[in-house]
Structure 1
Amino acid sequence: MAGCLALAGCGGSADGSDAAPDLSVRSAYMPQPVTDSLAAGYLTVVNESDSSDDLVSATSDIAGDVTVHETSGQRMKEAGRLEIPAGGRLVLESGGTHLMFEKLKRKPKEGETVSVKLRFTKTDPITVEMPVKSATYRPTSTKSSGSSTHSNSHH
């Protein structure tokens, strides 16, 4: 509750155009990695505001580096900023754009959770607790919110 009050007290124009976008994270998970050095992470960032934002970086205490990669055909390449459009969503999914956890400090096991901090251009960072699923896990729907929903208004 204090976080909501603190955000409400932030400055901005009377029409709210300077307000940070209202972002939340849903459907976050990490398949149990098959190697000791790399893991992937998937999630959906939902923007319920009239202002776009960009995902610019991510960090995690279990990895030396966390980068955002795009899959194009059979090749992966590091992505730059990724836009979360106003009233839209950014989907990081298997076979598409995703998080790569590199230089793992330990290999996460199924049933654990991994913490990842997402940083944006306008919005305060959002820390997501990402459950580790089986290596073969595939979500049935990207619309489920479950227990991995986090909103920047709670932080």
Structure 2
Amino acid sequence: VEDLVVSHIRLSAGMSVSENIQQTVRRLLSVLCDAELHLSSSLAIRDPSRKVAHLLAPDRGVEGVQSISGCPFVDFIAGPDRNRFADFLASAAAVDEQVAPAASLHMHLQDTAGRVLPAEIFHAPLPDAAGAAPHSGHILGIREQGAQ
């Protein structure tokens, strides 16, 4: 899974980061993961899919997509795993993304109903189209894990 996602990200890194490329990556991840997510560089949820809204805001029905758009993703990470996620992103930023594969982390998410969800998170930085910043955000794939 990771190699497939990384290959696609690497192919798209040479192009401008357009909506079309982002949608292609999201379609690929939607097949491989339970949900996919685009985060801004400040970790705000951008353009959430119905799948991720159902996963993170199951109690909000059709309003779920709008209710989580712009929310900090860390608000959906179970407390003890927030520092681990920050360390995970910091270590991913410290490696050359052209060489390193996409990384994954087993952690716990917490939805808006308070339910804790064991999950595996796949991460790849989203290249900045203008080259002005190291990256313009993050692409995450979320795979729910069985109860632990």
> Structures share a fold, TM > 0.5?
no
How does the TM-score come out when normalised to structure 2?
0.34
Higher RCO (CA < 8 A, seq sep 6+): 1
- Bigger proportion of residues as strand: 1
Q: TM-score, normalised by structure 1?
A: 0.33
Which structure would you say has the larger Rg? 1
